[in-house]
Chains A and B, each alone.
Chain A
Amino acid sequence: MFAYTIRRLLTSIPILAVASFIVFWLVSISADPVQEKYGARNPPVPKAVFDTEYRRLGLKDGFFEQYWNWLKGLVVHGDFGPSINQTTHINAEISGRLGTTLRLIFIAMLVALILAVATGVFSAIRQYSKMDYTLTFVGFLFLSMPTFWIAVLLKDAAVRYNEATGTTTFFTLGEKTPGVELHGWALVTDIAGHMALPTASLALITYAAWSRFQRASMLEVLNSDYIRLARAKGLPWRKVLVKHALRTALIPMVTVSALTIAALIGGAVITETVYQWNGMGKFLINSIVIRDRNAILAWLMLAGFFVVVGNLVADLLYAVLDPRIRYE
């Protein structure tokens, strides 16, 4: 098992490398960031400034040389390179914001998983009942909503509620209360309170896709012969359900959730934007707008890294859950 993990990690590295190259190339040809920043200024910026900037960012070197320098910097020094903004340091930006976004994604994923499993199982057990149809319809509804829609809806509803009751029951802006230094339990409750709505938004969107899978997978398991045998043996239905059926039905969920990590990342960006969090999402949007190639690359490398790790974890979990899979 250990050897398998190592092998998988090793094959992921070239994938990440190729991905980085492709993105490097695409972002480089899409725009010239220095031109973006200084080109349209009035009075026009002197050429000397342009030159310094180009040199600082290494944009006048050959394309492959640029890529190689960037790669070297990343792998050897862990440095993502200079940002367009002279005052921004990419590494610092990322380390400051990564935790915020990660906790949003992680908790949302957990909540979505629980919701999906619950609704999926319930729908499967009571197939064709009114509840099943309702849940399926609701699932479809959430599936057809853009991410921002739910986020804005919840936020709007919370704001109205706050206004109506004159309280601040719901935190709608930011990831923590600004300007106040909190510690210990107070900090935790503050963060949790601010996380409630964004997590709910992200979770609701994600659960919809997963719950359909869970329902289908559960149905397939419930129809299988060994479950029928278990019931025929006289085992209590609940026990059969939880101990036998659920465990098997969860297996495809593992793969599905791993596959949608990338989508979750995208969703997190949108949710953060709506709730105006100071997380990775804001950083990304800013970088795109100013065409900060190194920042965009840094973002994408991290995202790719997490997707790869997520897939690996999923594969290992898969092997643990399903004894038929044994890796050499």
Chain B
Amino acid sequence: MTTMDVPAQTTSQATDTQRMPVISVRNLVKHFPVRSRGVLRRQVGVVHAVCDISLDLFPNETLGLVGESGCGKTTTGRLMLNLVSATAGEVRYSGKDLTKLGHSQMRPLRRQLQIVFQDPFASLDPRMTVNEIVAEPLRIHGLYGQAREGRNKVRELLRTVGLNPEHGNRYAHEFSGGQRQRIGVARALALRPKVLILDEPVSALDVSIQAGVINLLEELQEELGLSYLFISHDLSVVRHIADRVAVMYLGRIVETAPVEELFLKAAHPYTQALISAIPLPDPRKERTRKRVLLVGDVPSPVNPPSGCRFRTRCPKFANELTEGERRTCVEQIPALIDRGVGHQTACHYAEAVKLI
């Protein structure tokens, strides 16, 4: 199976010079072993969490990574930071392959690659005060300095994310969800990273609070020159914040495009289904829109379908293709290439459709 590198921008956001990605993922694979119950616990199977993913993240851009639960997007984020060891493939950053680095070699790089977690309630140590939580990365890397210096740094970080530094002595559970997420962002920013993986940072928050956090993230990106990998299952949010989007399904990337192009000219049936499910604010448009419905159950990641993994739920496969075409879907894995639509898509019979 071949994948080509995700190319430089093709839309108006492209710059004149060819930009170098700040972090590059090539042919990343992650298999989780499934062990039998009982004493010996032999390995009886494998969960194909991430299968041959390649993507690039460019400086100062937001790459959205979307997909349903269990598609492997969270694992991909973890793999990129070497929090989970990869089964195969490489993650190139700063001239090094992160997957091959040991703990002590990763440590200095961790200053530049950080992550904000999904759950604002579980990602902060309940026994630490906010000051301690935000100070921890500084302490780990010896950046805390003298007491006054360190305290000021922490205060500054809290202010940056819009929190009152006077509240620093409180414990995490005394804050609301949105504030806790801001604390998580402050902690991630403490080391002045270049790349920030945002693992569903607003999924656990009330919709009204989400906006505040998203806006904060956008401002920070502008001010500090960060690159974001924004993992989410919520397409509306991704549409707002991302510059480019990659869509994942069952461990593979099925489509990737600049954001507006993806939403207006989605070519892969899965993307089309996702987009057609986004609620529209205009009730008339909502009622008359075209819906792409998926059939069947999600296949198990332990035993993914051959060829195109989406074929078991693909409406195109079920309704529109001939016998011969179907055989192609069953036998050949579709490569992620540009099939004349203007962006890359992994479907043998890709066809751009305007759904919203």
Q: Which A residues lie at the B interface, using CB under 8 A?
A: 4, 7-8, 326-328
Contact = CB atoms under 8 A, between A and B. Distances in A.
Contact of B37 (A4, A7, A8, A326): A326
A326 B38 contact: yes
B39 interface: yes
Contacts of B40: 7, 328
B36 interface: yes
Given A7-B40, A327-B38, A328-B37, 7 more contacts: A4-B38, A4-B39, A7-B39, A326-B37, A326-B38, A328-B39, A328-B40
Interface in B24-83: 36-40
Contacts of A4: 38-39
Contacts, number: 14
A4 B41 CA distance: 12
7 contacts: A4-B38, A8-B39, A326-B37, A327-B39, A328-B36, A328-B37, A328-B38
Contacts of A328: 36-40
Contacts of A8: 39
* Most chain B C-beta atoms within 10 Å of own C-beta, residue among A7, A8, A328: A328
A7 B38 CA distance: 12
Contacts of A326: 37-38
A119 to B, nearest CB: 34
Contacts of A327: 38-39
Interface of B: 36-40
**Which A-B residue pairs are the 4 nearest by beta carbons?**
A328-B38, A327-B38, A327-B39, A4-B39
A328 B38 CA distance: 6
Contacts of B38: 4, 326-328
* Chain B contact residues, majority secondary structure: loop
A15 to B, nearest CB: 15
Contacts of B39: 4, 7-8, 327-328
A7 B39 CA distance: 9
Nearest to B41: A328
A108 to B, nearest CB: 32
Contacts of B37: 326, 328
Nearest to B42: A328
Contacts of B36: 328
* Most chain A C-beta atoms within 10 Å of own C-beta, residue among B36, B39, B40: B39
Nearest to B40: A328
B248 to A, nearest CB: 35
A216 B69 CA distance: 38
A294 B38 CA distance: 39
B34 to A, nearest CB: 14
Nearest to A8: B39
Nearest to A7: B39
A327 B37 CA distance: 8
B289 to A, nearest CB: 44
Nearest to A327: B38
Nearest to A328: B38
A8 B37 CA distance: 16
A326 B38 CA distance: 7
A231 B37 CA distance: 33
B35 to A, nearest CB: 11
A2 to B, nearest CB: 13
B45 to A, nearest CB: 15
Nearest to B38: A328
Contacts of A7: 39-40
A61 B39 CA distance: 42
A328 B44 CA distance: 13
A7 B41 CA distance: 13
Nearest to A324: B37
A327 B41 CA distance: 10
A327 B40 CA distance: 9
B37 to A, nearest CB: 7
A261 B288 CA distance: 74
A191 to B, nearest CB: 41
A326 B40 CA distance: 12
B149 to A, nearest CB: 51
A316 to B, nearest CB: 13
B281 to A, nearest CB: 43
A4 B38 CA distance: 9
A4 B37 CA distance: 13
A325 B37 CA distance: 9
A7 B40 CA distance: 10
A214 B262 CA distance: 62
A29 B38 CA distance: 42
A315 to B, nearest CB: 10
A308 to B, nearest CB: 16
B42 to A, nearest CB: 8
B93 to A, nearest CB: 43
A323 to B, nearest CB: 13
B97 to A, nearest CB: 39
Nearest to B36: A328
A112 to B, nearest CB: 30
